[in-house]
Amino acid sequence: MNKVVKKLCKMGIALMLMLALVIGCIPTSVREVEAATSISGVSKISNLPDDFIRGVDISAVTALENSGVTYEYLDGTSGDIFDILAGAGVNYVRIRIWNNPYDSSSPYKGYGGGNCDLYNAKVLGKRATDAGMKVFIDFHYSDFWCDPAKQYAPKEWANYSLAYKKDAIYNFTYNSLTELLNYGVNVQMVQIGNETNGAMCGVGGLFDDVWDFSTGVAELMQQGCYAIDDINSTYGLDILKVLHFTSLVANGEWYAEQIDKMGVDYDVYAASFYPMWDGTVSDMTTVLTNIAKTYNKKVMVAETAYPYTFNDADGSGNSVGDSSAMRYSNYDVSVSGQAESLYDVFKGIAAVNNSVSGYGLGAFYWEPAWVGTDSSAWGTYGTGWASSASGNYELLYNSTVEHFSTTDQGSSWDNMTLFDNNGTAMNSLYVFNDICGNSSVTSSGSSSDSDDLEGTYYIKSYYSGMYLDVANGSSANNANIQQWSYNGCDAQKFKLVANSDGTYSIYTGASGYSKVVDVAGKSTADGANILQYTYSGATNQKFYIEQVSSGVYAIKTAITSGNSCLDVYNWSTEAGGNIAQWTYWGGACQLWYLEKTN
């Protein structure tokens, strides 16, 4: 909506308010948009940017689902994990890619850890995109786990020279991103190597004891960056180039300095920061702020987590099995302690912006859904941290198996998840919305039918907190339906009248309840406008009003047989933002509160 129209709307509202005073429709008071009740127990963080990253790494989810794991909302109703995460406020997903995480001979058993290849990234990335999330791709440039202790090259590259590896990294990055983008995955950031503390892809300190990136690692990283640059120019995108390190408090600034000396052209310095291993959040903020200031890099936490229990769910030992595995114990080992640790990490990143505005991007919780599974699934579906086949990969490079395994292993992370071992969301999952003061979806709602909803309502967007509103309070045909700040006048009153077919007609207060909400042109298309029109009883004037969770509804259009719904167009949070028809996917911009007018 352009500024002139906006201004006219504002003038209209001002006139209506004056008129209201005269005729007695006195708005009781412009109600504040109430902050939602915190589910996790943490409070709202002030001044969070709208696009602040509230992410999760859920790379292992496909393997878990294949083995039969299902996920549930807080109230125990089942749902798709991406709906559950979106309903909890997650807006970004990180997905790791291993080149070829399978044994080299029949039956080509997966190495485990979710068997995270490019195909898995396409499937998960598309589901995340469809749930309205952005996607962060994490290339390990290996066939299995990379961290400061291990950075093995993919099997196929085992005998490559540095020059060949440079080409291979460029091509693998470029080709994988091409496949992801063509598949419809909303890739916004790409990580070149995982926890690359001086080594990557069989090159650098772990192999030659030179840790400052000068013996080939920086050249390999630069090739990954070049591939992203070329993808950006081909697709007209602005995907951010991310490097990722651990040991942030002890060595983070040193790594940033060495990379800077080598001249690698990247955008984001990302760290793993686990509060039980890495130090205090205040130290984290200090180091990341220094890096942002000194090297002009955006900063974020690409991995964090905290245990909610010391119990082991699947009989396969956990990374943090007891307090001796924790260097720091600044939080209780409990669901609320876990929530508090995640809150502090978010707050610590947000604090970077106090010194260097716009440089603290956000954080990702690592594998919040990696619950334990039956031991029979570990090797079959790759639901454990390693399978027996992973040892064969290590033996290509090492005389003994030290880092991977010769037996099938289970989850080492089942006490670090934000879902309990039944797959039910715990209160700590809702930190993502709670730090924004947003309401969460805690139920599938599928078990409860809508009550008889006949009556007159204010209809408030679950997403924006704005109200459904007939523009300028007009009583004319084709008057637009938009969202506007609450003012309590007739333009924001709607009367639901039940039809015999299970639908409702929605009469507008602006027309004195003689006209109704209408899908323009009887269109079934996404983006079709929603407006006011004389009642005809046609299908484009009928709506299914379905309860999604307590007090929260989707308003689905009968003209699309309920496949589409009223949607705050383009995620607007502005007064005057348009309401259009869009395919229903359960996003926050498609949900509404019905508030009785009396």
List residues with catalytic annotation: 195, 303
Is 173 a binding residue for Ca ion by CB under 5 A? The answer is: no
Task: Tell me the C-alpha distance between 73 and 371, whole Å.
Answer: 15
Three-state secondary structure string covering 444-489: CCCCCCCCCCCEEEEEEECCCCCEEEEHHHCCCCCCEEEEECCCCC
Minimum CB distance to Ca ion, residue 365 (Å): 18
Angle at 76 between CA 73 and CA 77, to 5 degrees: 70
Using alpha carbons, list the distances in angstroms from residue 173 to 108, 140, 221, 470: 24, 11, 11, 49
Angle at 476 between CA 471 and CA 478, to 5 degrees: 70
Q: Closer to Ca ion at the Cβ: 253 or 414?
A: 414
Q: Closer to Ca ion at the Cβ: 100 or 309?
A: 309
- Residue 480 pairs with which residues in a beta bridge? 531
Task: Tell me the C-alpha distance between 318 and 234, whole Å.
Answer: 44
Minimum CB distance to Ca ion, residue 384 (Å): 8
User: Residue 190 class from Cβ within 10 Å (0-12 exposed, 13-18 middle, 19+ buried)?
Assistant: buried
Minimum CB distance to Ca ion, residue 183 (Å): 33
Task: Tell me the C-alpha distance between 307 and 305, whole Å.
Answer: 7
Q: Closer to Ca ion at the Cβ: 144 or 378?
A: 378
Minimum CB distance to Ca ion, residue 415 (Å): 7
Task: Tell me the C-alpha distance between 557 and 541, whole Å.
Answer: 8
Minimum CB distance to Ca ion, residue 518 (Å): 56
Pick out residues in 532-571 that bind Ca ion (CB under 5 A): none
Q: Closer to Ca ion at the Cβ: 309 or 433?
A: 309
Q: Closer to Ca ion at the Cβ: 414 or 469?
A: 414
Minimum CB distance to Ca ion, residue 311 (Å): 9
Angle at 119 between CA 115 and CA 123, to 5 degrees: 100
Task: Tell me the C-alpha distance between 388 and 409, whole Å.
Answer: 8
Closest Cα to residue 203, out of 241, 158, 171, 238?
A: 158
Minimum CB distance to Ca ion, residue 73 (Å): 24
Minimum CB distance to Ca ion, residue 408 (Å): 13
Show the site string, 66-85: x = touches Ca ion by CB under 5 A, - = not.
Answer: --------------------
Closest Cα to residue 195, out of 114, 119, 251?
A: 251
- Measured on CA atoms in the order 116, 143, 248, 324, is the torsion positive or negative? positive
C-beta separation of 193 from 139 below 8 A: yes
Size of the site for Ca ion (CB under 5 A): 6
Angle at 14 between CA 9 and CA 16, to 5 degrees: 90
Q: Closer to Ca ion at the Cβ: 24 or 315?
A: 315
Sequence letter at residue 155: K
- Report DSSP state, residue 492: G
Task: Tell me the C-alpha distance between 199 and 196, whole Å.
Answer: 5
Pick out residues in 263-322 that bind Ca ion (CB under 5 A): 312, 314, 316, 318
Q: Closer to Ca ion at the Cβ: 411 or 439?
A: 411
Task: Tell me the C-alpha distance between 4 and 6, whole Å.
Answer: 5
Pick out residues in 394-433 that bind Ca ion (CB under 5 A): 411, 414
Q: Closer to Ca ion at the Cβ: 117 or 414?
A: 414
- Residue ranges binding Ca ion (CB under 5 A): 312, 314, 316, 318, 411, 414
